[in-house]
């Protein structure tokens, strides 16, 4: 979760350091409060904070509105429903942050109760090839919770993560590795893939954002965006099994807080362009299913 670092980033370096220290302290306070308060109360507080931020941050709200316009480009949706989708996106993200804080102390048993995972057996099928696998997901729902769930259930998990200021990066790494997940900054992606192949691990990659700013332009809904460069190349060249999946707040309310979906593994035999088109098609289906859980607060559309 790089959200807080994104939203409190001054341009002056000394201010940046002081701001990051403040944000890290606030997050540590958040962990403490979530640890003390019942989850229902934490959720209520978080959703109110999310709603307030939706009204306060016109810039971030405009980014979410733009995302939704592209998502619903071919559907009729009235203004009231559109505005509700915007507000729910902020509120859902705040709830996801509650669960990110919970990773500091959560147990395997709680993760098992929280998550209904469809297709968990597909991880074993992918690793049966004995050359590692790539789990491709996106900034939908709670990707950190998904990694923690899989690691806690004995999947040898690694993840590529965005680098932030050192103090915050260390805090996030601590959260992510509590349940056994190994993390690599995106600048060390090559090492991450080598480790994945050598040790037959599952490497989680969020490929709906061009973090390195050198990505490939693709058609995406009614516009164009960039996705990471080189991902398709290494998957095809090394014949790595690929698992597409996601974890979202459970819409069925059947006792599980989250719904996780892991599709059967594929070993892609095609071109880079064909793989990227497949990736985009998968992403569009996932996002269209849960539009108010696509947490991309960035102006990344190529208009």
> Per the domain annotation, does 302 fall within a domain?
no
Decide if 99 is inside a domain: yes
- Residue 42, phi then psi, degrees to nearest 5: -60, -40
The C-alpha atoms of residue 272 and residue 267 are separated, in whole angstroms, by: 13
Of 100-104, 167-171, 246-250, 280-284, the one with minimum mean pLDDT is: 167-171
CB 290, CB 147: distance < 8 Å: no
- Is 100 a domain residue? yes
In a domain, 234, yes or no: yes
Residue 18: pLDDT band by 50, 70, 90 thresholds? low
How far is Cα 55 from Cα 67, in angstroms, rounded to an integer?
A: 17
Two tokens, residue 97: 């942050």
pLDDT tens-digit map of 199-244: 999 999 999 999 989 999 999 999 999 999 999 999 999 999 999 9
The token duo for 222 is 């009614």
Q: What's residue 112's pLDDT?
A: 93
DSSP, collapsed to helix, strand or coil, labels residue 143 as helix
Q: Domains in the chain: how many in total? A: 1
Residue-level pLDDT at 164: 74
For 109, the domain range is 3-293
Q: Is residue 303 part of a domain?
A: no
Instruction: Answer whether 203's CB lies under 8 Å from 240's CB.
Output: no
| Alpha carbon distance 175, 183 (integer Å) | 11
Evaluate whether 177 touches 183 at the Cβ level (below 8 Å): yes
Round the average pLDDT of the chain to a whole number and report it. Answer: 91
Domain assignment of residue 299, yes or no: no
Assess contact for 157 and 164: CB atoms under 8 A: no
Written as six digits, the tokens of 202 are 């599952």
User: What element of type H or E holds 70?
Assistant: helix 58-71
The C-alpha angle with vertex 268 and arms to 263 and 269, in degrees rounded to 5, equals 150
Given a contact cutoff of 8 angstroms between Cβ atoms, the answer to whether 142 and 247 are in contact is yes
How confident is residue 1, by pLDDT bands cut at 50, 70 and 90?
A: very low
Domain contains 94: yes
Instruction: Work out the average pLDDT over 256-261.
Output: 97
Q: What is the mean pLDDT of residues 241-265?
A: 95
**Whether residue 126 has pLDDT greater than 50:** yes
Whether 101 maps to a domain, the answer reads yes
In the numeric block, the tokens 């090559």 are attached to 190
For the entire predicted model, the pTM comes to 0.90
pLDDT in tens, 21-72: 677 777 788 888 999 999 999 999 999 999 999 999 999 999 999 999 999 9
């Amino acid at each position: 979760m790089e959200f807080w670092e994104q939203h409190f980033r001054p341009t002056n370096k000394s201010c940046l350091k002081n701001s990051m220290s403040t944000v890290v302290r606030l997050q540590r306070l958040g962990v403490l409060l979530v640890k003390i308060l019942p989850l229902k109360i934490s959720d209520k507080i978080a959703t109110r904070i999310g709603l307030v931020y939706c009204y306060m941050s016109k810039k971030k709200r405009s980014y979410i509105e733009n995302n939704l316009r592209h998502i619903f480009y071919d559907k009729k949706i009235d203004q009231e429903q559109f505005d509700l989708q915007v507000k729910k996106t902020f509120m859902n993200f705040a709830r996801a942050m509650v669960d990110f804080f919970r990773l500091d102390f959560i147990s395997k048993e709680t993760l098992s109760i929280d998550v209904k995972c469809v297709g968990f057996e597909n991880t074993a099928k992918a690793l049966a090839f004995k050359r590692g696998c790539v789990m491709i997901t996106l900034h939908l729902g709670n990707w950190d919770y998904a990694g923690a769930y899989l690691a806690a259930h004995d999947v040898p998990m690694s993840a590529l993560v965005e680098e932030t200021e050192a103090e915050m990066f260390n805090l996030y790494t601590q959260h992510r590795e509590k349940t056994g997940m190994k993390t690599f900054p995106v600048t060390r992606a090559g090492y991450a893939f080598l480790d994945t192949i050598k040790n037959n691990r599952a490497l989680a990659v969020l490929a709906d954002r061009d973090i390195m700013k050198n990505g490939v332009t693709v058609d995406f809904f009614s516009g164009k965006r960039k996705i990471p460069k080189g991902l398709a190349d290494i998957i095809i060249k090394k014949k790595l099994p690929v698992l597409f999946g996601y974890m979202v707040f459970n819409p069925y309310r059947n006792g599980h807080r989250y719904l996780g979906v892991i599709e059967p593994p594929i070993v892609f035999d095609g071109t880079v362009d064909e793989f990227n088109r497949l990736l985009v098609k998968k992403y569009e289906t996932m996002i269209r299913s849960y539009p108010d859980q696509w947490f991309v607060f960035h102006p990344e559309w190529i208009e």
